[in-house]
Chains A and B, each alone.
Chain A
Amino acid sequence: MTTISEVTERVARGEITSQKLTEECLSKIEALNAKLNAFITVTADEALAQARQADKEIAAGRRIGPLHGIPISLKDLIDQKGVRTSAGSQLRRDHVAAEDAVVTARLRDAGAVFVGKTNLHEFAFGTTSEDSGFGPVRNPIDTSRSPGGSSGGSAAAVASGMSLGTVGTDTGGSIRIPAAACGIVGLKPEWGHVSTSGVVPLSRQLDHVGPLAASVADAWLLYNAMQPHENQIGDQLDPAPLDGLRFGKLSGYFFDRLDADVEDRVRDTIAKLQQKGAAVTEVSVPHAADMAAIYLHLVFGDAAEYHARTLVTRPQDYTTPVRLRLEMARYVLAEDYIRALRGKALIAREVDRALDGVDALVLPALAIPAPPLGAQTMPVKGGADAVRTLMLRCSQPFNLSGHPAISIPCGKTRDGMPIGVQLVGHRSRTPALVQAALAVEAAIAS
């Protein structure tokens, strides 16, 4: 995979133009999209116009920064002015955004070129990107499999070179799951740290917007550009020295139900960190087993509220699986929703406690490799579990708790499918998490 960090230096030196980079992405889309279905809308003309403009500015010595002229994509849940925001649903097939989302505007200010809007699980309400009003997304590494989701088209686009970076959203794992399943990096920022204004909601209290990219450094570049100007702290971070880092390995629940290869590779990664001088201690989240039930009631209640009117007026415009899950969501009782809110606060405190005395938590990003399209269950240690449960298992805790979390590729299964390791950082210390992630990425590569 081409990284933004490498290529942007060549753009700055005039060795390659934005137009050339953009054309390369557009021709990859042309060649691969019929098969992968990663894009719902391709904005080729607008992208090329942006690229030519960027080339002029860079040639004139007015380079804005590392994202200037870099072709990226947006999950089609995020508004881009003048372009349809379908949310992966026929319900919004005619909805053209009047304005950029805040995150789109910031990336536009940074000079990014937008090649198109990526496919997703309809309304982000699922983890496989199979149930989309525009057809299922396929995993570029094995097209018989899901790319994960809900930002499946985004991950497929970066993994196959159709865009050099992308913006996804993550309500229960929708950035980290497809990043792990497609072998790229996904950063779920701390809750509230990247604006969700202009992004179709699933659950406003759990929704996060963040980058998926080919490397940790690229994810940081994109994340930094998504910040308001006054919060931007620099395009490049140095890796933390591994021998000064303390990791908390989450025990129990988080390693209980894993694919055997996933478990082996994540354990190998942790062992490697120790060999290189990092301190690793076992930590726990005592009520981890309650998280799925807590998450379900919150996301159902919130989604039911947003979709209540169109479930009545336009039910035929939803895919059947998503419509039925939204209908089911309407039966959650208020008292159970309140219980779940209290559970959410409890989990946040327990994650804070687990982080006490360590720099980051370490655990798998995704319990299983990318599941075959249509799979209902997947084998894990000790039996088989529902795909949906397994997909969310390791990621949703940090949507409940709001902590920043990043998924980094850490090897492959014996079938060649990517595996992701996840690091979770302290609140208000996302740069420190990314510095640890840079060190872990380098250790894995060594």
Chain B
Amino acid sequence: MRILEIGAARGDVTLILAAALAHDGLLIAMEGDAANVAHTRDRIRAGGYDDRVSVMSGEPGRFLHKVRGPFDVIVLHPGHETLRGKLAQLLRPGGVLISGDRKYSEKDMTIAEWLAQAKADAEKRGLPELVPMLEGLAKATEQLRAADWNDNPDKDTPRDHD
């Protein structure tokens, strides 16, 4: 199994991938920030995965030509979406490109999806009068979800005073 990771940052995902990889597997993790690279290399070494993981220092956009495919899996982190076309050429036929750019809030049912379902349901139940009312409710829900006091796992751990 050969894996390519684009934009490894501080190696959180790199470690998970490394742990899943067999001894004869290969993971190439590319990262542009030198401090991140050093940190990730330390973690890989500490985990005992340096036999199968290579952390490449350099902006993926500039150094991608140095990587030889094909890969079974390519993991594409946020910020490098423009490489998607080039990465497709590095995948083996039937390989998987994982794009991990969905934040928590985007994984919620979107207001638009919810509203469409609610409207369709109201129509089906013979309550067409609800359709404009549901649009009003959707506006309130949108405001609720956009409020700056909402928590999510991307933010600091909640404290008592929050």
Contacts and interface: CB of A to CB of B under 8 A. Distances in A.
Nearest to A328: B133
Nearest to A329: B137
B141 interface: yes
| Best-buried of B121, B137, B145, B150 by chain A (most CB within 10 Å) | B137
B133 A294 contact: no
B159 to A, nearest CB: 13
B150 A333 contact: no
Contact of B108 (A324, A325, A335, A349): A335
A293 B141 contact: yes
Nearest to B144: A293
Nearest to A342: B149
A293 B133 contact: no
A324 B133 contact: yes
B129 interface: yes
B127 interface: yes
B147 A336 contact: no
B109 interface: yes
A42 interface: no
Interface string A322-340: 0011011001110110011
B134 interface: yes
A297 B150 CA distance: 15
A346 interface: yes
Interface in A290-305: 290, 292-294, 296-297, 300
Given A297-B140, A331-B134, A333-B109, A339 B145 contact: yes
B130 interface: yes
A343 B134 contact: no
Given A296-B137, A324-B133, A287 B147 contact: yes
B144 A294 contact: yes
Given A324-B130, A339-B150, A293 B143 contact: yes
Contact of A346 (B109, B137, B141, B149): B149
Nearest to A324: B129
B130 A327 contact: yes
A292 B141 CA distance: 10
Nearest to A346: B149
A347 to B, nearest CB: 10
Nearest to A337: B144
B142 to A, nearest CB: 8
Interface size class for chain B?
20 to 34
Interface string B146-162: 01011100000000010
A339 B144 contact: yes
B134 A328 contact: yes
Contacts of B130: 324, 327-328
Q: Classify the secondary structure of B's interface with A.
A: helix
Contacts of A297: 140-141, 144
Contacts of B141: 293, 297, 332-333, 336
Contacts of A328: 130, 133-134, 137
Nearest to B147: A290
| Best-buried of A292, A296, A300 by chain B (most CB within 10 Å) | A296
Contacts of B129: 324
Contacts of B114: 331, 333
B15 interface: no
A349 B159 CA distance: 14
| Best-buried of A287, A297, A331, A346 by chain B (most CB within 10 Å) | A331
B135 to A, nearest CB: 10
A325 B133 contact: yes
Contact of B140 (A292, A324, A325, A327): A292
B27 to A, nearest CB: 36
Contacts of B149: 287, 290, 342-343, 346
A340 B144 contact: yes
Contacts of A343: 144, 147, 149
B127 A327 contact: yes
Contacts of A336: 141, 144-145
B38 interface: no
B118 interface: yes
A157 to B, nearest CB: 32
Contacts of B133: 324-325, 328
A349 B150 CA distance: 15
A413 to B, nearest CB: 29
Contacts of A294: 144
Nearest to A296: B140
Nearest to A331: B118
A336 B143 CA distance: 11
B68 to A, nearest CB: 45
17 contacts: A290-B147, A293-B141, A296-B140, A324-B127, A324-B130, A327-B122, A328-B134, A328-B137, A331-B114, A331-B121, A331-B122, A331-B134, A331-B137, A333-B141, A339-B147, A340-B144, A343-B144
Q: Which 9 A-B pairs have the closest CB atoms?
A: A293-B140, A293-B143, A293-B144, A331-B118, A328-B133, A296-B140, A290-B147, A339-B144, A346-B149
